[in-house]
Amino acid sequence: MIGALYDASDWADLFEVHQAYVLSPAQVQESIERLAKVGYVERDGLHARLTGEGRAWVISSRRSLFMSPLKDWRQFEVEDRIVSENEPYLPNLQKLDKDFFVNRGKI
């Protein structure tokens, strides 16, 4: 999304960004709010653009923004620990309702 804002000659249409990057409206909203809070983006309704400070930040941070081998978005937290995308999901069996499947058969 930052790339789309940087590539826009002026105001970027946030609906088009939402469609092009397959982001939910909540993801777009949250990202724009976070960037606006630090002064990198200004917003006008369904349009946003990078400020001069935002453009300078993108240029100075381009390596970490666009070329990082780390893919933090692939990791998620489970009970205060980070689970890798290659680690199988194992539920905590102590937290499962032991009668869940038995009771499902009675419906």
- Indicate whether 74 belongs to any domain: no
Q: Is 43 helix (H, G, I), strand (E, B) or coil?
A: strand
Scored b (16 or more CB within 10 A) or e, 24-55 reads eeeebeebbeebeeeebbeeeeebbbbeeebe
Domain tally for the chain? 1
CATH number assigned to the domain comprising residue 65: 1.10.10.10
In a domain, 35, yes or no: yes
Q: Is position 23 within any domain?
A: yes
Does any domain span residue 78?
A: no
User: What domain range includes position 11?
Assistant: 2-69
Residue 8 confidence (pLDDT): 87
- CA 103 to chain centroid, in Å, comes to 38
Domain membership flag for residue 75 = no
User: In the prediction, which pLDDT does 105 show?
Assistant: 58
Question: Please, what is the average pLDDT of the chain?
Answer: 79
Q: What is the mean pLDDT of residues 7-22?
A: 89
Within-domain flag for 34? yes
